[in-house]
Amino acid sequence: MTDLKGLGEPRGPGFVSPDLDSWGAPRPGVPGEVVKRDPARWPRLLLAGLAVVAVSATSGAIAGGVVADDEAAPGPTPSPPAPATTAPPAAQGGVPNDLVGAAATALAGVVQVRVGNSGGSGFAVDDQGHIITNNHVVEGGGSVTVVGPDGRRLPAEVVGRDPGSDIAVLRVDPSSGLRPLALAQPGTTRVGEPVLAVGSPLGLSGTVTAGIVSALDRQVRLGNTGARRNAIQTDASINPGNSGGPLVNARGEVVGVNTAIATLEGSGNIGIGFAIPIEQAQQAAQRIISGGG
């Protein structure tokens, strides 16, 4: 089988898709008619081109831009502003139930993780300074620094790593003021619900992208153990640098840890991303923090 490697250094996990049935395709010019293809054609193309790769990033993959506003040209008199609308109510417990509020909630606890020439994301989970990220973000070794939402650079120690679950836990000084994120209750994530991926794709810290939960219990190979694990599939845009960041629901609760994306022949994000379910990540983090990881 084709060797599948991740993006950036350290290398991320490979992915083996489950067996797929042969596909048919509409014949050009004949709507609705399907022509049977070579039964082995699609699997061969898949194995040759489709890979799920870790979304850590190197320092060379940092992008940015500046947009300047030109002087506005004269135009018709603008219409009077629309009357202000009432903000959507907060969910029980004060957690916002709209995506704007969910983004604000999540951003306060998300950090950029820097390890040598590599990077990723992470998020605070308690008031003791613990941060969850991906193992493949830090497995290469070296000093670790996190950049908080306010731009401060904080030294971090690696508390422990769990390669099997691709989870690692970092720790910064508890006085850093990072806001811990609420974790979704197990079994409450639903296919079709809106979610946000929060992190530092291509080094752009504090980036939020939106999508839905595309599937649950998707079998993928995460980490370097070769074992298959259940993952959340999402179409929220995930790119190198998002590794370790949270996937949050409309209440601002973490439902998963963004870990990998599917690519076709190096085409980048194609709308298929994978996140480790938060119950798996939480269990691994608890083992690490208690010394059992």
34 pLDDT exceeds 50? no
**103-180 and 194-284 have identical folds:** yes
Written in H, E and C, the secondary structure of 235-286 is: CCCCCCCCCCCEEEECCCCEEEEEEEEEEECCCCCCCCEEEEEHHHHHHHHH
Where does the pLDDT of residue 291 fall: very low under 50, low under 70, confident under 90, or very high at 90 and above?
A: confident
Cα 252 from Cα 102, distance rounded (Å)? 4
- Other beta carbons within 10 angstroms of residue 99's beta carbon come to 17
Structure tokens at 203: 């080094």
Residue type, 190: R
pTM recorded for the entire structure: 0.71
Does residue 166 have an active-site annotation? yes
At 60 the pLDDT is: 34
Helix (H, G, I), strand (E, B) or coil at 56: coil
Catalytic residue, candidates 118, 121, 136, 235 = 136
Q: What is the pLDDT of residue 248?
A: 97
Structural domain 194-284, CATH architecture? Beta Barrel (2.40)
Residue in the structure block whose two tokens are 């004060």: 94
Architecture of the domain delimited by 103-180: Beta Barrel (2.40)
According to the model, what pLDDT value does residue 57 have? 60
3-state percent breakdown (helix, strand, coil) of the chain, nearest 5: 15, 35, 55
Mean pLDDT on 184-197:
94
User: Catalytic residue at 214?
Assistant: no
Q: Decide if pLDDT at 24 tops 50.
A: no
Q: Please report the pLDDT score of residue 116 as a whole number.
A: 85
Average pLDDT over residues 33-40: 35
Q: Domain limits of the chain?
A: 103-180, 194-284
Residue 221 has pLDDT above 60, yes or no: yes
Rg (CA), the chain: 21
79-122 residue pLDDT tens:
544 444 444 444 444 444 589 999 999 999 999 999 988 889 99
CA dihedral for 50, 54, 60, 66, sign (positive or negative): positive
Question: Parallel, antiparallel, or unpaired for β 110-115 and 34-36?
Answer: unpaired
What per-residue confidence (pLDDT) applies to 12? 38
Q: Catalytic: 21? A: no
Q: What is the pLDDT of residue 263?
A: 80
Per residue in 239-249, pLDDT tens?
Answer: 999 999 999 99
| Concatenated DSSP letters of 148-210 | -TTS-EEEEEEEEEETTTTEEEEE--GGG-PPPPPBPPTT---TT-EEEEEE-GGG-TTEEEE
Each residue's pLDDT tens digit, 238-288? 999 999 999 999 999 999 999 998 887 666 678 899 999 999 999 999 999
**Given 56, 165, 166, 200, the catalytic residue:** 166
pLDDT for 75 beyond 50: no
